[in-house]
Structure 1
């Protein structure tokens, strides 16, 4: 799951002779942690669904709280950072995210609601972090290589999303979850012990994450980072002027549907691979395969980085969207290994979509770029709402059929890519 900052003119002011390597390493670790925390949700959803015997819609409340936080916290985060500065903002974000991880400890023994609050706090911290950390990548070094640095940190973000499902599968899902029939046979003592062990499976990993985030907060507070000076914000014209930019509004809708589709597929993958018609895998066995989904996005990003020097962004976007629709349909109508690998291969074609839509939507916005970027960041709320829609369909019809929801999302992205296929050539 990639994230971009608003592209405001930024200047870094650094003490003479100070090296950028240390700060850049810290920022890169941040991106890695971010990816890790976001895709761990894909492992926790089936775990919580089984432990609390939830419907799909109830299980998707995880993504609703997580991505809902982006929507709610984005604007206050920007105001906070204006007040306390980027470096303190990043420290605040890390500390809040650590508090969110620490909340998993009491949540594991109290119930689903506290889990949802913990997800919201964690994502709120990550949102503040995003608003603060992205600009650092651009100012830590030569402006001309800023986009290649962003690609590098994005790759580490992808590495985090790739490692998390396998790691989470080993730590959280390894114990396996009893079915409703098995639970009914347990005595009350056995039940209490079972719930305690299920809770402990989540507590350990998230306490470790809380500690890691606090350590990063300390490093960030001590690091000698350049002062980021915001360029003059030429916010000429209000939102009415921003919303008149048709390609921006369509781009925001495309971001909404893309993040929604990507998150939705990731959220349902473990349950999908557990379906007897598909692969019949246990949750613990299915988790490492989710790493292929996110790993594909990492590989695809490198391929895309090379290919998109020669192909127009719109055409590349349309091609990838068409490929995703075909693969998802294979997953819906196929069975066995065909359906399984088709759905996992979606990640590879997801790779370039977020940055491509983002840059196309902001094309030629000039002084409105900052506001346009804010609008696009709020559109990430798609990750909260689309999985919900798929959950409703999964509960009422069937899990396999529910993948029509993300397929429909990608249809709009195909349209957006074709509509602006020649955007950069019509100079």
Structure 2
């Protein structure tokens, strides 16, 4: 009981970090159409917003794991928050310069900070309690990630999107000065929101600095040699890394082009689409996290993962081949069934790895780079088909098929632990 009480405050504080990287990921569906307007981008070019974020994860994940391995959990959190705060501040000069490249650099730095936070928080949460309920505990903590997931598009839609949607003909008819003024106005819409985000991040940084966060040592921790590529001898980790690559790619792809998709299938205004994505799709994502944690008391995690992957394939096929509201609402239902996927794949991947959990966590976070590539492929398909973003959603459907294969392999081989009913 005493040990559990010692873990309560760290659990609460570390769980609060899940909101920050959720906000980063789920503000992208707002930034993509917004900067597409402000910087006059193609669908493929606008997808580089996702690429900057997820390439940040890919390049920084191993250094973050090394840092955590040598200096511990708390210093990893502090350094991650510092990078996150610096990146958000850089949005202000990027907007003033109306430089797309500057925006991408700022996003890369924010993502680097989020990588430290995520590399620390995911494995740390699994260690704060009974090993048999690690998946359940991580899903519960990730439920608060869902809060950031639904708030980000709502806040972004309200404070970043202007609601002004000029046609190409209207833009062409503007004088050079009027066009420049309009584009500068659009770019400047991000300044105040990102100043507020930076202030919040630095307050959280100060809170962690003055709070005691205990280190948790593994019973088998021996030396630095455990931090190596040899961790891939574990087949379930290899499968999890591949599955996580395709999961994050599908998650990012589904959300990033939703505003474009809803405009294409039913001519929905951008502010309305942003609100619906946050208030329906991302609320579903958050609710799915909580209900998924409950379902895992009775259904094996890998089996539930299989079921949800199947449902998402069906929903995406409906969204691709249906029209109007049917297509849009089928796509809005997808996040509910995505909700358990990242933490469940993650927990299955690091199961029973002991001290190798730290390096395994780094590789799993590196696999988030899938989010850099899937939106690019979708954007390219849209550009090559005259802007048919609906057809591009075949790509995340294929990604969910890969996840289904991983889930079935874990379920049939019994590599996941039955989650105990704690009633």
Question: Is TM (by shorter chain) over 0.5?
Answer: yes
Structure 1 CA distance for aligned equivalents of residues 416 and 16 of structure 2? 40
Q: Of residues 1, 7, 20 in structure 2, which corresponds to 1:33?
A: 20
* Correspondences of 1:27-426 after superposition (within 5 Å): 27-110=14-97, 111-134=99-122, 137=125, 150-229=138-217, 232-233=221-222, 241-275=230-264, 278-291=265-278, 292-365=280-353, 368-397=356-385, 398-424=388-414
1:174 Cα deviation from its structure 2 partner = 3.2
Structure 1 CA distance for aligned equivalents of residues 187 and 137 of structure 2? 40
- CA spacing shift, 1:175–1:283, aligned 2, 3 Å: closer
Cα deviation digits, residues 284-303 of structure 1 (max 9, x gap): 11101221222222211222
1:399 match: secondary structure:
coil
Equivalent residues, number: 411
Cα deviation digits, residues 328-384 of structure 1 (max 9, x gap): 010000001110111110111111212222233334545654443332221111111
2:166 match: secondary structure:
coil
Say whether the 8 Å CA contact 1:234–1:367 is kept in structure 2: no
1:265 match: secondary structure:
helix
- CA spacing shift, 1:241–1:92, aligned 2, 3 Å: closer
1:172 Cα deviation from its structure 2 partner = 0.7
Structure 2 CA distance for aligned equivalents of residues 137 and 242 of structure 1? 20
Two-structure CA RMSD over aligned residues (Å): 2.8
Say whether the 8 Å CA contact 2:65–2:362 is kept in structure 1: no
1:161 Cα deviation from its structure 2 partner = 0.8
Structure 1 CA distance for aligned equivalents of residues 135 and 194 of structure 2? 32
Say whether the 8 Å CA contact 2:65–2:358 is kept in structure 1: no
- CA spacing shift, 1:419–1:28, aligned 2, 3 Å: closer
1:170 Cα deviation from its structure 2 partner = 0.5
Structure 1 CA distance for aligned equivalents of residues 19 and 83 of structure 2? 17
- CA spacing shift, 1:79–1:200, aligned 2, 3 Å: same
Structure 2 CA distance for aligned equivalents of residues 313 and 146 of structure 1? 11
Structure 2 CA distance for aligned equivalents of residues 373 and 104 of structure 1? 29
Say whether the 8 Å CA contact 1:308–1:316 is kept in structure 2: yes
356-365 or 225-234, larger mean C-alpha shift: 225-234
102-111 or 28-37, larger mean C-alpha shift: 28-37
